[in-house]
Chain A
Amino acid sequence: MQNTVLVVGGGPAGLSAAATVSASGFDAVVVEKEEVLGGAPILSGYAKLVPSGEWAKDAIGRMVTRVVDDANVTIHTAAKVTRLEGEPGNFTATLSNGETVSAGAIVLGTGFTHFDPINKPEWGFGTFEDVLTTTQMEQMVGAGEIRCPSDGRVPQRVAILLCVGSRDRQIGREWCSKICCTVSSNLAMEIKELSPETDVFIYYMDIRTFGLYEDKFYWKSQEEFKTKYVKARIAEVTASGDGRLLVKGEDTLVKRPIVIPFDLVVHAIGMDPNEDNPDISRVFGVGLERHGFIARAEHYTNSCGTTRQGIYSAGAAYGPETIDDSISQGHTAGARAVADLYALVRKAG
């Protein structure tokens, strides 16, 4: 009889799956490939989270502690699953650290990989020191001071470019990363708070601050923090010769080319499928959908399912997702896995 659920990935989704399994009276084994738990918000050092406004290290830190302090949860960090044998109800996983784990069901909370803007060289990342990603900007906010990396000056003007690595057939990214609009308007407010003399401009195609994020982030950043939203997809970022950057594109609302000087340019990078997904697909025998994320089973009666029975998934592994929804899905996936274990108990009984 099986008492264990294997949870792969220790981000918001995996951590909540493990917590649910334990709370239901079963054992969870978490396998995380990095040295620390917490997933992207911890690994990339996010600042204050959308929508709670809590610092990532506090909010996600709480999720980590809850699992670490739980006697029913075993944790393997710096480890991956290299082989999986068996069948639903009776899987055996071999880990890269040589250990084996027997589990009745599996939850894949393996998340996403940040888009690397080196793949959009025309936007200047990797060429100019003052072109950053949202994750780097989050870290700067976390450090409490807004400065241009090139010479340490306080930027007069910051441009945030949306949809970097999303919604772009040229580079095979035909999805919207869902959270970057809201994250960017949040970041604009954080920048203004730390550096009141800095003006923040957001270059957008659409603003997708869905649901209750509309007034809380988009309107607030515009109305209270004076963020300017300019409707243009930037074509190119170049140097201006006086140490500043030039942002070039078409302002579609005035039908005019623009070449505007900025001190700092921030790429709102998107969420790519986890770069491990081809391996994960092979090892766990689960299918991927056409963009390369984990394929979701029919959701109505098989919530958080994959193409393989007994293996569930949650969060950004399925596609761009918010932390809050990743957490909810993690709990759902954990509950589905636990339900499988109960079914085994009943069958055995």
Chain B
Amino acid sequence: MAIHEKSLIEPERLLQYDDLVVDGVDVSGHWNTMITPRTLRDYDEDFEKTIQSYGGGEYVHRCWQCGSCTNSCTMYAQNTQFNPRYWIYLTRLGLKEELIKDKDIIWQCVSCNKCTNICPKDVRPEGVMKALAHWMEDEGITEKSPSTHFDEEFADQIFKTGRIEDSHVLMHFFKKTGQPLMQGWLVEFGKRMTKGLPIAQMLRMGLNMLFPPKTKSWGRTGEVLQQYVREQKEAAHG
């Protein structure tokens, strides 16, 4: 039978052949529409451990699905698809594919911690949201958030030179996040800052921009630091 209420079904679950003849009968198009079942066929026991290895995800296994977090959630009030309780359940059973379906909203958690304050099992759902968002970034499921880009740029410069050159951080951050370099507020900021600044100071700033200074005797410190961070990450996430 033709299926008419297709709008109720996720598009990837609809199977349909444009041209199909069965026993000499033409059943092309909607006459052969089938729906693939939504059955869950397995759990992934290791996934919970993966999320627990991210900061904030440590207590996810305590959850007993009372729904207090979702009920209290700032984002849930905006969008009922934003459901920390549900994502915690999927995490616990390792239903990764279901989780990835919500990749475009999970990161929207505003860290208000209302959930943290109400959770009777002290799961700290806000931390779990953070852990999930980081896992998705690491797996390339979601793009890196602007704040992740900023953090990385910041750290990169420290590793390289042992210090921060503000203008470089900003420039690279703008580039990575696809923003124009000349932004009205920045130009205005530059203008006002340089007004009344002694020439020598201005020269030094200009030079620093062209030839970023290094912390004295930084040497291999950056490399060692970078390796330490890498090792810590590996130890946590395997």
Q: How many A-B residue pairs have C-beta atoms within 8 angstroms? Tell me.
A: 46
Judge if B201 is at the interface, Cβ distance under 8 Å.
Answer: no
Partner of A230 from B39, B42, B45, B93 at Cβ < 8 Å: B93
Please name the residue on chain A nearest to B37 by beta carbon: A257
Known A199-B45, A228-B92, A253-B86; judge A258-B40 contact (CB<8 A): yes
Chain A residue numbers with a CB within 8 Å of B86 are: 253-254
Judge if B61 is at the interface, Cβ distance under 8 Å.
Answer: yes
Q: Closest approach, in angstroms, between the C-beta of B178 and any C-beta of chain A? A: 36
Judge if A114 is at the interface, Cβ distance under 8 Å.
Answer: no
Please name the residue on chain B nearest to A218 by beta carbon: B64
Known A254-B89, A257-B37, A261-B42; judge A231-B95 contact (CB<8 A): no
Judge if A229 is at the interface, Cβ distance under 8 Å.
Answer: yes
Judge if A321 is at the interface, Cβ distance under 8 Å.
Answer: no
Judge if B62 is at the interface, Cβ distance under 8 Å.
Answer: yes
Known A259-B39, A260-B41, A261-B42; judge A254-B61 contact (CB<8 A): no
Q: In the docked arrangement, what's the CA distance between A219 and B86, Å?
A: 20
The answer to whether B95 touches A223, judged by C-beta atoms less than 8 angstroms apart, is no
Judge if B220 is at the interface, Cβ distance under 8 Å.
Answer: no
Partner of A257 from B40, B45, B61, B95 at Cβ < 8 Å: B40
The answer to whether A231 touches B40, judged by C-beta atoms less than 8 angstroms apart, is no
Partner of B65 from A226, A231, A256, A260 at Cβ < 8 Å: A231
What does the 1/0 interface line of A116-151 toward B look like (CB < 8 Å)? 000000000000000000000000000000000000
The answer to whether A253 touches B65, judged by C-beta atoms less than 8 angstroms apart, is yes
Please name the residue on chain A nearest to B89 by beta carbon: A253
Q: Closest approach, in angstroms, between the C-beta of A221 and any C-beta of chain B? A: 11
Q: In the docked arrangement, what's the CA distance between A219 and B61, Å?
A: 10
Judge if A74 is at the interface, Cβ distance under 8 Å.
Answer: no
Chain B residue numbers with a CB within 8 Å of A256 are: 38-40
Q: Closest approach, in angstroms, between the C-beta of A88 and any C-beta of chain B? A: 50
- A228-B43, A256-B40 known; 15 other A-B pairs, CB under 8 Å? A199-B45, A207-B64, A223-B62, A228-B92, A230-B93, A251-B40, A254-B86, A254-B90, A257-B40, A258-B39, A258-B41, A259-B39, A260-B40, A260-B41, A260-B43
Interface positions of B (Cβ within 8 A of A): 37-43, 45, 61-62, 64-65, 86, 89-90, 92-93, 95, 98, 121
Ranked 7 nearest A-B pairs via Cβ: A257-B39, A258-B40, A256-B40, A199-B45, A259-B39, A223-B62, A256-B38
